[in-house]
Structure 1
Amino acid sequence: MGASQDRKSAKAKNPRTGRRARHSLSRESILEAAETVAVRDGFEGLTFQALGRELDAHPTSIYRHFRDKDELVLELVDSLRARSYGGRLQATDSWRDDLRAQARHIHDHYLRYPQFALQMAARTTRRPAEFSNVEFALDAFVRAGLPPEEAATCMRVFGNVIRSLASMESGLQALDAETLHGDSLAWQVEYRGLSAEEYPRIASLSDHLTDIGNPQVFDRAVEMFLDAVEVRVARLASHAP
């Protein structure tokens, strides 16, 4: 009885503390762990089981704060956006400068999370950071001189173009180094070696071709879009009654 009783007594005095207490979790601690898991394993690997392991907690305890994975993902996407540039979008007297700055913030944000940038771009979070983004862009397009319907449409096109380009660059950055190098090198080697007879335009312009991830491509796209808005405003004004 002695040894067995001693072991039972020791267990009673020193209970096992393998998993954290159920009530010690918070939305903030879960989101922090979710970011760690998503950066490491992508959104596919962001499961409540993986979070439980990361937090040293039972997976079911996460349901006290998030009803399912989708709610968690939307909250994570919006919180990461707020952390990247929340509060940094301040309207100036130049709608072009404002949209240019917003595009750059979004671009840099997506490149900060290349592992799941494409999935992030496709989601609508309907949360504060997203609402602020939409409000800021709509205001800029209205100040550009677009009527309401045109301003709303241009906001949507602008957002889709910016997120698409940023996601594409992020996808490149997520490639392994060897694959990325090979794709970039193709524009300097394979394209320059093409037959001028079969591909005359490529041959004549090969010295000016850039790879997909060239940062100048994004900046040029933004400027082209802003130029198009000015043309659109002028065209609508010329046809106004």
Structure 2
Amino acid sequence: MTNSGRSEDRTRRSTSEAPARTRRKRDSLNRAVILEAAEAIAERDGLDGLTFQSLGAELGAHPTSMYRHFKDKDELVLALIDSLRDRSYLGSLVPTGDWREDLRIAARVVHEHYLRYPQLAQQMASRTTRMPREFSNMEYTLQAFLDAGFDHADALKYQRVFGNYVRALSSIEAASRCLPEQVRREDELAWRMQFERLDSADFPAITAAGQPPLSIGDASTFDTGLEVLIKGLEALAEAAADQG
């Protein structure tokens, strides 16, 4: 037998022995199944790796079948964000009768949520889903500001300030967690070494502190900032009451 004949024979045997690739039944796909696969891909490969093609490979379905449930990737990502919020927030945002404690609860739930899903933190911080879970969260925090005694205009303004603080710091910490462990360790070491070399004549305030500033992911920073913010809101609420 010639070499070409052997090659063709091997090819035929390989083809016949290879397991047939099975496709998912057309009616077995739904939004919940797709979102579960999207979450797995986003956590494993990041948002850049989340495509309809990668979803098709994950689910054993043709990529175009995703369009029957989501018009594009953006709609898919927003739906994923909302479904993850449901998982994290549902049952947690319960009014306590103390607007300060309500804000603490809201802030900590969001903070923990971002650190639980760091790959999606930037999208969660900067996008609006316009879905029921988002509006429920807004209702909870806005009511806390109204309970503090602010009128609707100020309540909306301070709600935005509060929300931006919580999302910004949470997303910064989440971004740090997305870095490879070795990179984080090297950054921390380099920061400390550079601090020790600073000239007190050039940087008197920094060197007088006697130790490097807290790291980005320091566990106490978020709660400290939250309490500073709440103290400021208390003062503003008292001033508004005095003027009223």
What is the TM-score when the length of structure 2 is the normalising length?
A: 0.88
CA contact (8 A) 1:95 1:141 kept: yes
Q: Name which of structure 1's ranges 191-200 and 103-112 shifts more when overlaid on structure 2.
A: 191-200
CA contact (8 A) 1:43 1:116 kept: yes
Structure 2: runs of 5+ lacking an equivalent: 1-19
Sort the Cα spacing of 1:17 and 1:185 in 2 relative to 1 into closer, same or farther, 3 A.
Answer: closer
Match of 1:12 in 2: none
Map 1:26-37 → 2, pairs under 5 A: 26-37=30-41
Tell me how far apart the structure 1 counterparts of residues 191 and 98 of structure 2 sit (CA, whole Å): 37
CA contact (8 A) 1:99 1:140 kept: yes
Amino acid paired to 2:213: L
Tell me how far apart the structure 1 counterparts of residues 143 and 187 of structure 2 sit (CA, whole Å): 39
Q: Structure 1, residues 184-236: CA drift from partner, whole Å, max 9, x if none?
A: 23453322331111100001113262111101110011111111111111222
CA contact (8 A) 1:191 1:206 kept: no
Tell me how far apart the structure 2 counterparts of residues 122 and 198 of structure 1 sit (CA, whole Å): 38
Amino acid paired to 2:187: D
Match of 1:63 in 2: 67
3-state SS of paired residue (2:194): coil
Question: Which residue of 95, 99, 111 maps to 1:107?
Answer: 111
Question: Between the two proteins, what is the percent identity of the paired residues?
Answer: 49
CA contact (8 A) 1:138 1:151 kept: yes
1:197 equivalent in alignment to 2:181: no
Tell me how far apart the structure 2 counterparts of residues 193 and 119 of structure 1 sit (CA, whole Å): 38
CA contact (8 A) 2:195 2:212 kept: no
Match of 1:156 in 2: 160
CA contact (8 A) 1:187 1:209 kept: no
CA contact (8 A) 1:39 1:115 kept: yes
Structure 1: runs of 5+ lacking an equivalent: 1-15
Match of 2:225 in 1: 221
Match of 2:136 in 1: 132
How many aligned positions are there? 226
What RMSD, in angstroms, separates the aligned Cα atoms of the two structures? 1.6
Tell me how far apart the structure 2 counterparts of residues 93 and 185 of structure 1 sit (CA, whole Å): 45
Q: Name which of structure 1's ranges 180-189 and 154-163 shifts more when overlaid on structure 2.
A: 180-189
What is the TM-score when the length of structure 1 is the normalising length?
A: 0.89
Match of 2:89 in 1: 85
Cα drift, residue 87 of structure 1? 1.8
Sort the Cα spacing of 1:192 and 1:154 in 2 relative to 1 into closer, same or farther, 3 A.
Answer: same
1:172 equivalent in alignment to 2:176: yes
CA contact (8 A) 1:95 1:140 kept: yes
